Amino acid sequence: MTIDIKNLVRKNILNLKPYSSARDEFKDENGIFLDANENPFGELNRYPDPYQRKIKKKLSELNQIPTENIFLGNGSDEVIDLAFRIFCESKKDKVLTFSPTYGMYEVSANINEVELINLDLNEDFQIDLETLKPYLNDENLKIIFICSPNNPTGNSIQNIKYILDNFDGIVFIDEAYIDFSPEESFRNQIENYPKLIVSQTFSKAWGMASVRVGIAYASQEIIKFYNKVKPPYNISQMNQNTILNTLDNENINQVSENIKIILEEKKSLIENLEKLDLVKKIYPSDANFILIEVDNADNIYQKLIQENVIIRNRNSVIKNCLRITVGSPEENKKLIKSLKSIN
């Protein structure tokens, strides 16, 4: 398949001469470094590797994906924002999302002054292909965002392959919650779909939300543009070290153990929620959170706060729905106890 990524990229980005940092110009690790206006004293005095090569090498080995197909961002929120900057001309191009979904696609669209087409998911929170089809030929539609498992609904999205096969623009699949899901990641499809971006994050299953590291897997052509537009040193050395440590075998095992515990806790949380009269519906979830419908979400949300339990009130997005993150066994017990006292 011939790749025409360049036809999708904004002209100014195509022509952009990227910033060339001191570490771009001299890559060796050894030497007397008098090239970056750094301070010679201290332990945190040097700029970090701008391309986070050690982390990418580990991710590459872990997932059998070449390092050239990996980009790391300051959280996956940066991965989302840079997609707008690379592909979307302000006040001209459009992106498409399926709602309800993660709020940052819309915020990034607004920041970048890009029109957002928002199609409702159907009552099972799935994409209605018939509604989508007329939009697939819009030449100003640059990116379709698909969040799977979806936030805040928790379910995996079906028919993604149809969109990959029938849309000529960028398909951005946000897999922030994929490590909790039985579904296979689309990152293994980047070879087949040169316009696919799969974003993942260290913030959820990896338990590293405070470190702010997100991942994009995509064709080398797309990754090159990501590297062209990113801030020169977008991930600090301390954060790179923390992620590298997490990627040690021993720590990976701990991450897997924690995922197992969270999934067992989710099962038991659902069993307990089912017994409560105030819970009207529990939506299926492939993530580390559960969306429930209640009679009066605002009321229950406030009462839980009085019990010192904070969940997410999604009433403004999906009527009378609350989103509950699966916590530790003790936290979940406290949640159920508090809900019983409201019941």
**Residues within the interface to ligand PMP (CB under 6 A):** 75-77, 102, 147, 151, 174, 176, 201, 203, 209, 214
Across 160-253, the runs of DSSP E, i.e. the strands, are 170-174, 196-201, 214-218
Cβ distance 298 to 319 under 8 Å?
no
Least Å distance, CB 309 to ligand PMP, is: 19
Helices and strands in the chain: count of H runs, count of E runs: 13, 11
The token duo for 90 is 């302000």
Looking at beta carbons only, is 5 or 262 nearer to ligand PMP?
A: 262
Looking at beta carbons only, is 155 or 203 nearer to ligand PMP?
A: 203
Give the CB-nearest residue to ligand PMP: 75
Q: Residue holding tokens 């590459």?
A: 60
Looking at beta carbons only, is 5 or 291 nearer to ligand PMP?
A: 291
Looking at beta carbons only, is 69 or 108 nearer to ligand PMP?
A: 108
Cβ distance 37 to 23 under 8 Å?
no
Least Å distance, CB 89 to ligand PMP, is: 24
Looking at beta carbons only, is 216 or 339 nearer to ligand PMP?
A: 216
Least Å distance, CB 80 to ligand PMP, is: 7
What is the identity of the amino acid at 134? Answer: P
Least Å distance, CB 342 to ligand PMP, is: 26
Least Å distance, CB 230 to ligand PMP, is: 14
Cβ distance 213 to 201 under 8 Å?
yes
Cβ distance 8 to 87 under 8 Å?
yes
Least Å distance, CB 176 to ligand PMP, is: 4
Across the chain, the runs of DSSP E, i.e. the strands, are 70-73, 94-99, 115-120, 141-147, 170-174, 196-201, 214-218, 279-282, 289-294, 312-313, 321-325
Nearest CA to 141 among 88, 190, 102?
Answer: 88
Looking at beta carbons only, is 104 or 279 nearer to ligand PMP?
A: 104
